[in-house]
């Protein structure tokens, strides 16, 4: 009877693939008190400025602008660069990357990915360049850093802009440099599910100050001053409550990353070396943020498909995610415009990948429980 009761209790509890980190509620309340005094709720107020300065220092970037979400950072950065033609990108990404390109009336050209770290295969970029190519938009996937040196070399050779989708790499460093320093623009998402969040939010990091001025206007309807509107912009401003959450979370970010590291290390300890299971690589020269824990299930060796593992975990109220599946070049909204057979590695990985639950406060005994279920499927 007691055993049945314990099992029922476990079934009531859900383990989600991610869970937002939050500061102590008293800290957030204290942070927003002066908003009540100023009545300044949005439009680049004091919290916005403070977070901008804090992130500039933490990320080690020359310039940064804050936006209402990561998608608008991508979309408006492309608009600010005034591009026309084709953008080489990856289909192994979230919808936002591809949609930002298409919504700027640019044409995505899909490059395949590396089978080991799932980032854009830089060796395949040059064969995709045409006289219409204007930019490359790679994605740092799961916290794995793209081959930034090779990509920049190609961009310099052909006179192309580089816009990084850095949504997964907040706080990640490659050879001592933050990922926000690479390319012409690097865009972050501060969505609630990310390692660092502002509830909803995003940022664009850049070196060219003129580009920054254009981006600043575009996020505020294209307004140059009280009497001049010289661009067709959007409303993409981060409000003061978002910025206040960011200021609180920034104080705790290093501790949060260390907690995530402990979770990842336990997963690795339990799943490393298991036949048919491919784990996310530990990249050389990279200081990780432990953003995600993707697992590739090779069904012939492991004995079960990714979908079967996903469903088995769901039976125990453990919710993993097929991330990224489907590929963006197969979306219904594009009506078959792209040939998925041109990105075979991405297609294969998308059919086999499962991201397991990972967040700072995930108890290690729950990690063991998840691993026990996965490993128990083979017995």
What tokens appear for 57 in the block?
A: 């220092």
Could you tell me where the DSSP H helices lie in 95-218? 95-103, 148-158, 209-218
The CA distances from residue 22 to 13, 152, 361, in Å, are 20, 37, 10
The fold adopted by the segment(s) 2-18+253-376 is 3.90.1150
Q: What is the structure's pLDDT at 379?
A: 74
Domain positions in the chain are 2-18+253-376, 25-248
The angle subtended at Cα 46 by Cα 22 and Cα 186, nearest 5°, is 70
The second-level CATH assignment, the architecture, of 25-248 is 3-Layer(aba) Sandwich (3.40)
What lies within 8 Å, CB to CB, of 301 at 6+ separation is 275, 276
Q: What is the pLDDT of residues 166-183, one digit of tens each?
A: 999 999 999 999 999 999
Is the pLDDT assigned to residue 3 strictly greater than 60? no
Do 25-248 and 2-18+253-376 fall under one CATH topology?
Answer: no
Q: What is the structure's pLDDT at 1?
A: 46
pTM: 0.95
What lies within 8 Å, CB to CB, of 112 at 6+ separation is 121, 124, 342, 343, 344, 345, 346
Is the pLDDT assigned to residue 328 strictly greater than 80? yes
Helix (H) or strand (E) holding 202: strand 202-206
Give mean pLDDT, residues 301-309.
98
Tell me the average pLDDT of the chain.
Answer: 96
């Amino acid at each position: 009877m007691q055993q049945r009761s314990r099992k029922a209790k476990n079934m009531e509890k859900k383990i989600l693939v991610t869970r937002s980190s939050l500061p102590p509620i008293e800290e957030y309340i204290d942070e927003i008190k002066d908003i009540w005094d100023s009545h300044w709720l949005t439009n680049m107020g004091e919290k916005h400025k403070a977070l901008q300065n804090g992130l500039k220092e933490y990320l080690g970037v020359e310039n940064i602008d804050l936006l209402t979400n990561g998608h608008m950072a991508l979309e408006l950065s492309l608009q600010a660069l005034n591009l026309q033609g084709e953008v080489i990108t990856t289909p192994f990404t979230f919808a936002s990357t591809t949609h930002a390109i298409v919504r700027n009336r640019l044409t995505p050209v899909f490059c395949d990915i590396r089978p080991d770290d799932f980032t854009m295969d830089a060796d395949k970029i040059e064969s995709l360049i045409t006289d219409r190519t204007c930019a490359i938009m790679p994605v740092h996937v799961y916290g794995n850093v793209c081959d930034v040196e090779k990509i920049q070399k190609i961009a310099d050779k052909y006179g192309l802009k580089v816009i990084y989708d850095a949504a997964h790499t907040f706080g990640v460093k490659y050879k001592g440099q933050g990922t926000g320093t690479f390319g012409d623009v690097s865009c972050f998402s501060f969505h609630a599910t990310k390692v660092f969040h502002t509830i909803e939010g995003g940022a664009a990091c850049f070196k060219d100050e003129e580009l920054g001025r254009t981006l600043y206007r575009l996020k505020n309807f294209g307004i140059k001053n009280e009497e001049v509107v010289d661009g067709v912009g959007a409303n993409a401003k981060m409000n003061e409550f978002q910025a206040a959450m960011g200021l609180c979370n920034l104080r705790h970010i290093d501790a949060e990353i260390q907690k995530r590291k402990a979770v990842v290390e336990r997963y690795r300890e339990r799943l490393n070396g298991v036949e048919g299971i491919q784990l996310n690589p530990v990249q050389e020269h990279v200081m990780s943020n432990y953003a995600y824990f993707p697992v590739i299930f090779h069904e012939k060796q492991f004995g079960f498909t990714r979908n079967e593992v996903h469903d088995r975990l769901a039976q125990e109220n453990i919710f993993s995610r097929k991330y990224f599946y489907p590929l963006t070049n197969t979306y219904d909204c594009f009506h078959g415009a792209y040939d998925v057979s041109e990105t075979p590695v991405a297609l294969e990985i998308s059919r086999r990948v499962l991201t397991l639950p990972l967040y700072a406060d995930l108890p290690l005994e729950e990690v063991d429980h998840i691993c026990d279920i996965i490993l128990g499927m083979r017995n």
